[in-house]
Structure 1
């Protein structure tokens, strides 16, 4: 897997999920701690930053009245009810751990739901950059990671999902998706194995 043909897609690295004060932090807190998601993600970005690999983030934002959501159900209904990810609020901002890499990470706006390809120009950017391999990290494993991964597979990309850089609602859910769901359309590896495959093992 060559860095110049690879894109790391970061999903949900916003305060409302990953900050201890985030509105929805409790949803992924246990799973994130077990696999040290933030530590692993930062290490991965540190290793990829000097390479030609594309690093993008796809934050989710909503207007204060959530006019984008029409009769939402499930987690989107919860997001609206608790007031998460409102544009311009601290909760919607990118986590401080990624601040050192802001000049290296391309923000792709427009995400309003689960799939990072919907309502964004992510696919266009990836194709323009000659990307054939997509690596997914972030939250939530069973929702945005799964939806984006399936979409990427259907668009013809080779998909890799990082078992130690993704966060689920529970540890059991994380293990179930990594062992029983993701392998149906993607490779599932730890970030250290990904770096070895990209011949960046000296940085692991």
Structure 2
């Protein structure tokens, strides 16, 4: 990937253990709801630029405010775009950052508990937040916010853990109503 390309698109493939056979199962971008307020800030620059017409001698005040709103909004939207949560056949990891790349990873064997929170707006717009628990006290991968379609992502993680043989499966025989009477229930 070129130098400019590294600032425009996160290089998820560079973090894979290809020699070990690691493949991406799901690459999750932030949900659009994570950036809606930054898009509103970008839209605010339009009336600020139009205010330059009426400001006459002080045109530079709305111009600077408009440029600041535009720069901050575009920067925050790009930061959210560069934030990726990746589920592979071996681990989950999050890579984010533009000039400095941060990588937090957790092997599937270390995941003890996954909790998902869907706030009211998350239920309306289709996003949720994950919290990963492991045996380690301090971990780099704990909170993953604004995950689109969180139920499907949770099932994907559970399926990868199950198919890798990290959790045992209990064989359940078919129960009938007669069996319930034998133990008094």
Which protein is bigger by CA-based radius of gyration? Answer: 2
Q: Which has the higher strand share?
A: 2
Instruction: Tell me which interval the TM-score lies in, with the shorter structure as reference length.
Output: under 0.3
